[in-house]
Chain A
Amino acid sequence: MKNQLKELSNPEKFQSPIDISDVNVDVLMLMLESMTTIRKTEQQLALGRKSGLIGGPVHLGAGQEAIAVGISQYLQCTDRVFGAHRSHSHLLALNPDFYRLFAEVLGKETGFSKGMGGSMHLFDQLSGFYGSVPIVAGTVSLAVGAAMAAKLQKTSDIGVVYIGDGAVEEGIVHESFNLAKIQNAPMLFVIENNLFASHMHISLRQPSDMISRFAEANDIPYELVDGNDVVAVSQAAKRLVDDIRSGKGPRLLELVTYRFYGHVDWRDDVDVGVKRSLDDIENWKARDPIVRLSKSMTESGYLSKHQESALNQRLDKEIDKAWNRAMSDPYPSADATLKYVYSEEK
């Protein structure tokens, strides 16, 4: 495999605090809170799954929070954001309502998808989250269509899709790149390159580890960034989103990152992982996007130890409360299975 990502894919690099000099402290605090909220929510989901309280699979993205948080700063609620199987962060970065996420994952009717979707089928259109599905690459063309619609509707809204490095092995992604380009669709393709598709390392699946090469092939301008540096992610996202909104057509943003959990549920998956080792996981944990941001903020005097622990305590309490509330919520009524098949049957 060609190592075109170079040091970006080396877990022993990029472990130092990040450059926050251009960012307002309030924005930094918001990003820290958003990333921490997502991390703690997923830790709760891991516990719930391990204990059996959650019946279905959860694909956790802990370690990848900087991506959705960095990008979502520049999205508006009328944009059209589509996710995939690992999309808790994509939704929570737009709407941090972890109570409704808990309810959904527990199959309760108070959930984001009224208890009909679970972890893999999430919906919150009011915040711009159009939906996520577990068919790999299943939403890519849908997002392009939603972007084409934005253009026909003469708005400045954009389509956004989050996919991983595995998804680009599906043919539909390349059709979608081509269609978006030829239609000049206002579309942001976000590639979360965490080097693994399920259990398989990218070196066993592709001749190069750099997904942006497909952007080049379709004449789509792109940026390739350290996905565990929330400031770098947000700055790149701002440049690309500004271009898209001003009618310059599709853009691609590739973020190199790593997930701390295995493909699904709470385990590390080093046993089923091909080339996924405990050493790698430990090294990547040293590149934790939350730790790197909080360290930078502490060093710059923006964040005291007291503030940091107050934030953690508050979120722990809120998450605990939300989880208990969701646990006691009702399940969908028996007629739900047939009720939602069609919009309305007369």
Chain B
Amino acid sequence: MAIDKHNYGTAILSAFEYLLENYPEVFVIGQGLWSPWYVGNTMTDLEKKFGVDRVIDTPVSESACTGAAVGASLAGMRPIVVHPRMDFMLYAMDAIVNQAAKWSHMLGGQAHPGVTIRSIINRGGEQGAQHSQALHAWFAHVPGLRVVMPSTVADARDLLIASVLCKDPVIYIDDRWLYDQEDELPPIVELDLTIQRPVISLMGSDITIVASGHASLLAREAADKLENEDISVEVVDVRVLNPFYAEKIVESVKKTKNLLVVDSGWTSGGFSAEIIAKVVEQLPVDCLNNPPIRIALPDAPAPTSRVLEKSYYTSTSDIVLAVKKMLKLKL
């Protein structure tokens, strides 16, 4: 079996190549698609290989491009919209929330807006409040949307393909802070997105940490550090935030009796609250040894100044510290 060496970025690229190669109804539309400045190494030379009719770099029109992709999906295509920064995608909220999410339901299950909207979280580097947002919780709140946040190299490739082959609208969110991860991937096997569930990415027995996207990477790094100190962490990677199935997480917490949630969005009203709520609702009374804890961003827009920025974003050591605190271990 051929094994391909990939990083997170080239894994996304290979998913695009696979889809454009094998599915003539796939096309890609968005701003900056012909420029590594916008999309890193995830779309290199696609327009040269598959033509500018199928890899469309567009006018500065997030709203129209997203709406056009929704319309094309209703006409039998499988479009992928790319928003190089989630912040700018807010111009397209009508197409996403009022249109894509609603057409199946309000038309009696007869219309299928099978569009994939890839949104990149691109932050840090003193970019500030409008070049940094992680708004996955908003989209996870909307019935009709599927929300996917791959945290591993394999999921970056395989969940993108699964998203595009799904008949429903999918928000696929990748994070530039994940791009340096490397892995060896087996040949592509098409997955059915509707049966993808949270997975246990590291087994452990003392505490369950639940996270998605970049926060999952931080959780895995924290677990490695804690292992050196004989603390056994189980990490659950959510992968699909909407519809959200918590069974795996509940099982894990029943075992470890401790729950910590890490999320790359803001704290209040965020997806971390949904995870804790769903899990607590299904746990036996008195199952937990400690109150659950969440680590997420402070309830403030992202600051620019590097000093403020450093304390604003979650680090691996923040997680290590929180785990030790919860387990009442020496800090």
Give chain A nearest CB distance to B75 CB in angstroms. Answer: 4
Beta-carbon contacts of B24-55 to A below 8 Å, as 1s and 0s?
Answer: 00010000000000000000000000000110
Give chain A nearest CB distance to B56 CB in angstroms. Answer: 8
Are the C-beta atoms of A172 and B67 separated by less than 8 Å? yes
- Known A135-B94, A339-B109, A340-B104; contact A176-B64, beta-carbon cutoff 8 A: yes
**A296 at interface, CB cutoff 8 A:** no
Question: A109 vs B94: C-alpha distance in the bound complex, in angstroms?
Answer: 27
- Known A144-B64, A144-B68; contact A343-B167, beta-carbon cutoff 8 A: yes
Are the C-beta atoms of B71 and A113 separated by less than 8 Å? no
Surface stretch bound by A, among B8-16, B95-103, B291-299: B95-103
Are the C-beta atoms of A343 and B59 separated by less than 8 Å? no
**A59 at interface, CB cutoff 8 A:** no
Are the C-beta atoms of B70 and A142 separated by less than 8 Å? yes
Question: A121 vs B103: C-alpha distance in the bound complex, in angstroms?
Answer: 9
Chain B residues with Cβ below 8 Å from A83 are none
Interface residues of A in 76-94 (CB under 8 A from B): 80, 82
Question: A336 vs B106: C-alpha distance in the bound complex, in angstroms?
Answer: 10
Question: A332 vs B53: C-alpha distance in the bound complex, in angstroms?
Answer: 42
**A260 at interface, CB cutoff 8 A:** no
Chain A residues with Cβ below 8 Å from B110 are 113-114, 123, 125
Beta-carbon contacts of A233-269 to B below 8 Å, as 1s and 0s?
Answer: 0000000000000000000000000000000000000
Question: A117 vs B69: C-alpha distance in the bound complex, in angstroms?
Answer: 22
**A44 at interface, CB cutoff 8 A:** no
Are the C-beta atoms of A152 and B77 separated by less than 8 Å? yes
**B321 at interface, CB cutoff 8 A:** no
**B314 at interface, CB cutoff 8 A:** no
**A133 at interface, CB cutoff 8 A:** yes
Chain B residues with Cβ below 8 Å from A346 are 192, 194-195
What's the interface size class on A, roughly? 35 or more
Chain B residue nearest to A339 (CB atoms) is B109
Give chain A nearest CB distance to B246 CB in angstroms. Answer: 15
- Known A131-B74, A345-B194; contact A179-B59, beta-carbon cutoff 8 A: yes
Give chain B nearest CB distance to A188 CB in angstroms. Answer: 14
Max chain A C-beta neighbours (<10 A), residue from B53, B63, B110: B110
Chain A residues with Cβ below 8 Å from B102 are 133
Chain A residues with Cβ below 8 Å from B58 are 179
Beta-carbon contacts of B179-220 to A below 8 Å, as 1s and 0s?
Answer: 000000000000010110000000000000000000000000
Max chain A C-beta neighbours (<10 A), residue from B54, B63, B98, B195: B63
**B301 at interface, CB cutoff 8 A:** no
Interface residues of A in 174-193 (CB under 8 A from B): 175-176, 178-179, 182-183
The 10 closest A-B pairs by CB, nearest first: A141-B67, A114-B108, A145-B71, A145-B68, A142-B71, A175-B64, A343-B167, A340-B109, A149-B75, A149-B72
30 contacts between A and B (CB under 8 A): A80-B75, A113-B107, A114-B109, A116-B105, A123-B108, A130-B74, A130-B111, A131-B107, A131-B111, A139-B99, A141-B67, A141-B95, A142-B95, A144-B64, A144-B67, A144-B68, A146-B75, A147-B71, A153-B75, A153-B76, A159-B71, A171-B63, A178-B64, A179-B58, A179-B59, A340-B105, A340-B108, A342-B243, A346-B192, A346-B195
